[in-house]
């Protein structure tokens, strides 16, 4: 296999499936199956999931809510998504642990780096909920931070599009796709991959990011097997 330990970043919106908000159990089961295929090959998988399908701190703040309160609500939304994904994975017989950056001891373990790494070594999937535990930081930043902390080989950002394009392919039909691009070129061209804080952290730590379509069956397994899926960003 091409990678030994990966961090999979999923957006909260990805869990909505065809719904307008919330969680689609069918999409959840599909994702669990994709992840199982990868863990069955002996690859260690950590996951960071967003909360945008339930609540977005930034959206709350734009409606007059205190930003810190809004971000705390967003963190709790990621924990709800984490619990849902944990349940789906366990239904697929994949041992899973949920660790959170904010303490909710009755629901999940607190994030302890050594414990997380031990779980991964034992073949358990580890879901990191609660973002970084701090307001003003996105789940993209949480994904990069956790990936560096656990020594992941790569960040796989699962989206609805199959990579990074010169423009939004859903709006511009003539947009062309990059198969490989450097961190520097992404910044020069002003392409949106992750928020700037997360992206810079990834660049400084020489941690590659691959943006790919998570909704195409078998893509995750192909990617970790070394196939050229999506767009790879590295130095």
Pairing of strands 125-129, 44-49: parallel
Q: What is the pLDDT of residues 145-189, one digit of tens each?
A: 999 999 999 999 999 889 999 988 888 989 999 999 999 999 999
Length reported for the chain: 235
pLDDT computed for residue 61 by the predictor: 72
Handedness of CA 158, 163, 167, 171 (dihedral sign): negative
Separation between Cα atoms, residue 37 and residue 226, nearest integer Å: 15
> What is the residue range of 167's domain?
5-234
56 pLDDT higher than 80? no
Q: What is the pLDDT of residues 8-28, one digit of tens each?
A: 999 999 999 888 889 999 999
CB 88 within 8 A of CB 81: no
Q: Mean of the pLDDT values across residues 24-36?
A: 97
**Degrees (nearest 5) of the Cα angle 70, 150, 9?**
50
Q: Mean of the pLDDT values across residues 184-195?
A: 92
Return the CATH number at 76: 3.40.1160.10
Buried/exposed 57-93: b ≥16 CB within 10 Å, e otherwise: beebbeeeeeeeebbbbbbbbbbbbbbbbbebbeebe
pLDDT computed for residue 95 by the predictor: 98
Q: Mean of the pLDDT values across residues 132-150?
A: 97
Q: What is the pTM of this model?
A: 0.95
69 pLDDT higher than 80? yes
- The count of domains in the chain is 1
């Amino acid at each position: 296999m091409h990678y030994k330990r990966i961090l999979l970043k999923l957006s909260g919106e990805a869990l909505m499936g065809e719904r307008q908000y919330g969680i689609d159990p069918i999409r959840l089961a599909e994702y669990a199956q994709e992840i199982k295929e990868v863990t069955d090959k002996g690859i260690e998988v950590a996951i960071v999931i967003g909360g945008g399908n339930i609540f977005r701190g930034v959206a709350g703040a734009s409606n007059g809510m205190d930003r810190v309160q809004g971000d705390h609500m967003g963190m709790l939304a990621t924990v709800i998504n984490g619990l849902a994904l944990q349940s789906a994975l366990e239904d697929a017989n994949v041992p899973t642990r949920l660790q959170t950056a904010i303490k909710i001891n009755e629901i999940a373990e607190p994030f302890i780096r050594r414990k997380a790494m031990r779980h991964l070594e034992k073949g358990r999937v580890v879901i990191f909920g609660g973002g970084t535990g701090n307001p003003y930081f996105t789940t993209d930043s949480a994904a990069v931070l956790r990936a560096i902390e656990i020594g992941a080989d790569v960040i796989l950002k699962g989206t609805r599009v199959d990579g990074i394009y010169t423009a939004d392919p859903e709006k511009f039909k003539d947009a062309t796709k990059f198969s490989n691009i450097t961190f520097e070129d992404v910044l020069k061209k002003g392409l949106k991959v992750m928020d700037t804080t997360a992206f810079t952290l990834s660049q400084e730590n020489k941690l590659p990011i691959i943006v790919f379509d998570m909704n195409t069956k078998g893509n995750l397994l192909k990617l970790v097997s070394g196939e050229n899926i999506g767009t790879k960003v590295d130095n």
